[in-house]
Amino acid sequence: MHEMALCEGIIGIVEEEARKRAFAKVNVVCLEIGALSHVAPEALKFCFEAVAARTIARGARLEIVETPGTAWCMDCSRSVEIRQRYEPCPSCGGYHLQVTGGEEMRVRELEVD
Ligand SMILES: [Zn+2]
């Protein structure tokens, strides 16, 4: 399952931070997910709880912030925001878009004790 692998990745980052910053408990994991990343926030939250149960992130809340997708419109020659892939340019309606951002997922912040 796609989300399961992602959660293991997140926990890996949290554990790495725990080693570096020497904290013992994680309260909140704030995650940024690009609108074009194909990640389902609900599925991710569900998996996170299961994966975190055996780790330092046990009981931590997962907060998800969705960041917009961005693309370069070759017709307008400028950067525009899109909500999903293969969407037309919101400015000119054209389809000559090249996705430049919004596909990534990253841990933005950890709230720890
Ligand atoms: Zn355009």
Residue 6 CB-half CA count within 13 A: 23
pTM above 0.75, yes or no: yes
| Domain around 9 | 2-112
Ligand 1 centroid vs 64 CA: distance in angstroms? 29
CATH number at residue 17: 3.30.2320.80
Chain centre distance of CA 32: 4
Is the Cβ–Cβ distance between 85 and 71 less than 8 Å?
no
Dist. CA 92–CA 109, nearest whole Å = 36
- Quickly state the pLDDT bin for 1 (edges 50, 70, 90): low
Q: Tell me the per-residue pLDDT of 85-100, one tens digit each, with 9 for 90 and over.
A: 999 999 999 999 999 9
Ligand 1 centroid vs 13 CA: distance in angstroms? 38
Ligand 1 centroid vs 7 CA: distance in angstroms? 36
Tokens 């419109």 map to which residue? Answer: 73
Ligand 1 centroid vs 9 CA: distance in angstroms? 36
- The stretch 39-44 carries a mean pLDDT of 90
Please give the order of strands across the beta sheet that includes 61-67.
61-67, 26-34, 105-112
Dist. CA 3–CA 18, nearest whole Å = 22
